[in-house]
Chain A
C-alpha cells in the first residue's frame, strides 16, 4: 500500500489560502488520493479526492503533480473553523477500499 508523508503541523493566517502538502511517491496507477479532516472531538470529514486531474469543490482544491508523487490541498480562504488535523490518504487497493490513516497535518488558523 502506498504511504503518505505530511508535515506534522502548519500555521496559516485567517483569510489566507492554506496549502497543505502531501508526498505519496509509491502511489500506484489506479490509487486515488483522498483528503479528510478531523476537527477537535469530531468524526473525520471527507474533503475531496482525485486520481490524476486537479479537482475543486465547495470546500477545497486538490492539485496533483503530473507524476502523481505528491499533491497539495488548498483551502482558498481559511477561517478559524478550518483548524483541524488534515489527513492525506492513498486508498488501498482491495475490494473494501479501506483507508489507511497516517498522523496527518495539524493546521492552525490564526486570527
Chain B
C-alpha cells in the first residue's frame, strides 16, 4: 500500500546511455513532480505536471523528459547520460494545486553514471 513508489531504487549505468525511472502514486493525486538531490543534498525541482500543464525548470537539460502515460504515473526519461547526472531522483505527488496540500515523496532512485 505504498503511496508513491519508484523503480528502480538503484541504477548504475555508463555515460551516453539512455535510461528511464518510473514513478507511480496510488493516492489519486492530480499533480506529480520530479526532484534531483545532488551530492550537496540540495533538493531541486525539475518538473511539475498535472493533467493540464507541464512546468519545466529551465535549468534542466532537454536530455531529461517527463512522460505521463496516465494520471497515476510520471516517468523520467534521460538521454545521453552524463557524469553530472549522478544524483538521487525523487518523485512526489500532491492532491491539487491548492495552498494547503502537502507533497508525498517516493523513496528515491540513486543514479550513478560511470
Contacts and interface: CB of A to CB of B under 8 A. Distances in A.
Verify that A and B bind, or say they do not: yes
Interface residues of B, number: 26
B40 to A, nearest CB: 8
B42 A95 contact: no
Interface in B11-33: 31, 33
Contacts of A96: 31, 48, 50, 53, 55, 97
B103 interface: yes
Contact of B45 (A34, A44, A98, A104): A98
Contact of B104 (A34, A46, A97): A46
Nearest to B110: A41
B39 interface: no
Q: How large is the interface on A (under 10, 10 to 19, 20 to 34, 35 or more residues)?
A: 20 to 34
If over half of A's interface residues share one DSSP class (helix, strand or loop), that class is named, otherwise mixed; here it is: loop
28 contacts: A30-B99, A32-B100, A41-B108, A42-B108, A43-B4, A43-B105, A43-B106, A43-B107, A44-B43, A44-B90, A44-B105, A46-B103, A46-B104, A49-B102, A87-B43, A91-B99, A95-B53, A96-B48, A96-B50, A96-B97, A98-B33, A98-B48, A98-B55, A101-B42, A101-B43, A101-B44, A103-B42, A104-B41
Interface of A: 30, 32, 34, 41-46, 49, 85, 87, 91, 95-104
